[in-house]
Chain A
Amino acid sequence: MIEAYKREVDRTLIRQSLRRSVEERLDALIQLQRFAEELREAGRRAR
């Protein structure tokens, strides 16, 4: 089952992440979270 999901994993993103330090990975997560929040806010405004 997991093998099927694994085929969909974008390994270029993983390789990019593995080149970063742990702190850089967490900073990227924080940026992603901000981006998602901005998108949600834009969606709310559009309703």
Chain B
Amino acid sequence: MTDFKALLRALAEGGVEFILIGGVAGTVHGATRLTLDVDVVYRRSSENLRRLVLALTPYHPYLRGAPPGLPFRLDVATIERGLNFTLTTDIGDLDLLGEIVGGGRYEDLLPHSVDIHVFGVDCRCLTLDRLIEVKRAAGRPKDFDAIAELEAIREERLRDDAR
């Protein structure tokens, strides 16, 4: 089970620059669907990679689905050589994304993110509009349900605003 609170706190308290996307971002905006991991887009600056490693190392990050015993160490060099990592940690599953289809990198998404305060920490979350756009751009059939719910949320919000 993923400890959403612990993961968000570890990243935010570690000073990691990241933007929440995916299912948890959907929940932030009002979605009711179950999601089992945390997806974030992280800034790929050297300083941020260092913070990311420091924040996650205590929780033993490992490649999700990799055979046990496969040598893997999440350090700055490893993240620099890669881009997107699907990880499992002691506090749950985390997708670390350097870039996403239809959304780009952290710097591209930052203007389309909002500050949220949750579980005692501040973090950034992709806006509802951008979340819908990137899910549409990904074009994965498994997202159709989620996109439909997010669009229904947008309609409900507009309806509320119009009242």
Could you tell me which residues of chain B, from 133 to 148, have a CB within 8 Å of some CB in chain A?
A: 136, 144-145, 147-148
Secondary structure dominating the interface of A: helix
Partner of A23, one of B1, B118, B144, B153: B118
Interface size on B, residues (CB 8 A): 29
Q: Is A46 an interface residue (CB 8 A)?
A: no
- The answer on a CB contact under 8 Å between A14 and B156 is yes
Closest to B8 in A: A26
Range of interface residues on A (Cβ < 8 Å):
20 to 34
Q: Of the candidates A6, A13, A16, A26, which one forms a contact with B118 in the assembled complex, judged by CB atoms under 8 Å apart?
A: A26
Let me know if A5 and B147 touch, CB within 8 A. Answer: yes
Contact of A42 with B by CB under 8 A: no
If A17-B31, A37-B1 touch, whether A22 touches B118 (CB-CB below 8 Å) is yes
Which residues of A come within 8 Å of B, CB atoms?
1-2, 5-6, 8-11, 13-18, 22-23, 25-26, 28-30, 32-34, 36-37
15 A-B contacts (beta carbon < 8 Å): A1-B144, A2-B136, A2-B144, A9-B148, A11-B156, A13-B32, A14-B30, A14-B32, A15-B156, A18-B153, A22-B118, A25-B27, A26-B5, A26-B27, A26-B118
